Amino acid sequence: MNLIFINGTMGAGKTTISRALQKHMPPCVFADGDNFWDMNPFTVNGRSKEMVLSNIAASLAGFIESGLFENILFCWVMHEESIVKDLLSRIPAHKCRFFLFTLTCDEQALKARLSADIAAGRRSEGVTERSRERAAHYGGMLSYKIDTSRLSPEGAAERIADTVRGKTALLPYIKTETLTQDCRRIREKVFVEEQGFEREFDGQDEHCFHLCFYKDGKPAACCRFFQTETAGVYALGRIAVLREYRSQGLGRYVLQAAEECARQSGAAALTLSAQVRARGFYEKCGFSAEGEVFPEEGVPHIRMTKKI
């Protein structure tokens, strides 16, 4: 039995994608957290919050205990990790495999979707700013993140279904503005211990976004990205996969995730310094070599770029 939570800011596509996913994964039951807030007047206080959480938990627990469903699907904004933990603490989640998916999208797509909803009377003015503010909360959550900016609801649903079934290399990850200990350990093992680099950590680490990917709850891969002095150009780097997780397609996924995160931050093009021996891998991922080969700590590198 799978318990699948889908969160994300308003306009990310949670309900539409969940409906599409329900068709992919029968027998499946779906609950939308917004339905538990369907009250007039709309009142948010301590008592109403507790009532809503209690009712959601009771419904999910009932689905689990019934034994009728292989997949239990729940979507809600859940912009704070404490909300997820609170709900899980109230239900027999130990009887299920638990998945947390976060739907993300770039600002252009978010604005277009919310503007259409406002024009149709489905949302009120001011939702765009509230949504943008909440979107910033999800990076630090350990979740499978799916960028819906250029995905159809059907495509996003298929990606979620394939992940639950173990058919993709998708991994949960966190995005932070500081170098975490897990990222540091991965880079030490790959670049310092295996490859012999002595100047692995630099001042740029303090001005980057860092992504750390986990497999079965253990750190498996990492990378970083930052905005260069050229408008719209972001640099990717320190892409590392631990030895025991290689040859599983994780490198390509790490690169894809970093590209999506950079694009959501405003990137129109990417640049990276690739070890020459890895040039073929990056070319397969859409990067093109530029300029001459140059050494970094005695290792041949080449500059590569990609428009996104």
Residue 279 C-beta-side C-alpha neighbours within 13 Å = 12
- In 3D, which of 215, 217, 213 has the Cα closest to residue 187? 213
pLDDT at 82 over 80: yes
Q: Mean pLDDT across the chain, nearest whole number?
A: 93
| Residue 144 identity | Y
- When pLDDT is averaged across residues 62-82 and rounded to a whole number, the result is 96
pLDDT above 70 coverage of the chain, percent = 100
Are the C-beta atoms of residues 242 and 221 closer than 8 Å to each other?
yes
42 confidence band (pLDDT: 50, 70, 90): confident
Only one residue has tokens 């969160």, namely 7
Structural domains for the chain: 2-164 (3.40.50.300), 194-307 (3.40.630.30)
- Alpha-carbon span 188 to 199, nearest angstrom: 11
Tell which wins on pLDDT, 130 or 85: 85
Please give the average per-residue pLDDT across 79-84, as a whole number.
Answer: 94
* Predicted pLDDT of residue 205: 94
pLDDT tens-digit map of 145-185 = 999 999 999 999 999 999 999 988 789 999 999 999 999 99
Distance between CA atoms of residues 178 and 75, nearest Å: 29
Reported pTM: 0.91
The 10s digit of each residue's pLDDT in 264-275 is 999 999 999 999
**Mean pLDDT, rounded, for 33-60:** 94
Residue 15: band (very low, low, confident or very high) from pLDDT cuts 50, 70, 90: very high
Does residue 85 surpass a pLDDT of 90? yes
Q: Looking at residues 17-41, what average pLDDT do you find?
A: 95
| 132, pLDDT greater than 90 | no
